[in-house]
Amino acid sequence: MFAFGIGLASYSSRGDILDVYYPTPAKDLDAQLSKLLTSRAPADDALSPEQTSRLADALLDAGHARLGSAARLLAEADRPLCWTELDEDRPIETTTQAYLKLHLLSHRCALPNSLNLDGIFAALPNVAWSSQGPIGIADIDERLVRARIEGAPIIVHSLDKFPRMTDYVIPSGVRIADASRIRLGAYLGEGTTVMHEGFINFNAGAIGPNMVEGRISQGVMLGAGTDLGGGASTMGTLSGGGNITISIGENCLIGANAGTGIPLGDRCTIEAGLYITAGTPVELLDDARESVRTVKARELAGESDLLFIRNARTGTVECRTNRSAIQLNEQLHAHN
């Protein structure tokens, strides 16, 4: 079995699923566990509390403490639970499948760009994320009026297809200054610090430890020890319909208000305020800072030990060998 989860769903007044919470999603299950789950799969993908309790006992007896303990807690719910299993990594067809895959990413069960997320936007409904949980868009106006009448106004945090990650997953060893800027489906490795202006989209993240003060777009991954400066950004693939996956290697520094539209290897630096796109003309310099030739930045994609700067006199973007890699403060990123 490729992936599995037992989840607690929220519904609109019309019975449409708004979201699903999977406390312990599992990926790449072994044959024994797959057989145990298959033998107890419900006919309609819905588990009653009694079925969940029996499943918890079976999992615990078989030595699967993590899944069994979670099932034991979920058995206390007074409504049926979602049973979601994936035999293989196919395109997404349902809301339950979409939420299972987003949970797998944020639970660190899968790295960004390793799951088939085709169809995810069609499967996810737009939702009013509020202080009273998810509310269907068609229901929100009436709910707001009723809440005011009852003297307990609802605070609507966002109208979006993706909720914030920390309402579902709390990764170990991370620090997040503003949780609203981290979407479910983001991957945050141990030691990652995300400051107030840092943003991490779904299917994107940082391997850890990392300092994130800028934007990590969908599909982008930061290598260990890399610092994304304040206001810096990485070019994703969604908006322009491109197919180039942007990644940044280890021990890189993307300066404040800088950015990149090409993949970078290890120990690369882009000076503050400089945005490198695939078509940016770059003058290559040798160790004596003499011009060698001019290339499009795409020709340097994935290379390591590069230092990109803009010549203050001519405005030309220059690149030479980076002689020093950054080092993150170990105490700053030890989030115990």
Question: Is there a catalytic annotation at residue 213?
Answer: yes
Q: Contacts for 194-202 with beta carbons within 8 Å, 24 or more apart?
A: 195/230, 197/230, 197/231, 198/228, 201/236, 202/102, 202/105, 202/162
Kindly list the strands in the beta sheet with 317-321, ordered across the sheet, starting from the edge strand earlier in the chain: 175-176, 192-194, 210-212, 227-228, 253-254, 269-270, 306-310, 317-321, 281-285, 291-296
Both tokens assigned to 113: 């760009």
* Main-chain dihedrals φ then ψ at residue 81, nearest 5 degrees: -105, 155
Helix (H) or strand (E) holding 60: helix 49-61
Strands 275-276 and 259-260: parallel
Both tokens assigned to 84: 């979601």
User: How far is CA 299 from its chain centroid?
Assistant: 29
Residue-wise DSSP of 174-242: -EES-GGGBBTTEEE-TTEEE-TT-EE-TTEEE-SSEEE-SEE-TT-EEPTT-EE-TT-EE--STTTT-
Q: Measured between alpha carbons, how far is residue 333 from residues 123, 160, 225, 277, 308 in Å?
A: 36, 31, 10, 30, 26
Reduce the DSSP state of residue 298 to 3 states and report it: helix
Pick the catalytic residue: 50, 85, 150, 213? 213
Q: H/E/C letters for each residue in 233-287?
A: EECCCCCCCCCCCCEECCCCEECCCCEECCCECCCCEECCCCEECCCCEEEEECC
Supply the residues annotated as catalytic.
Answer: 213
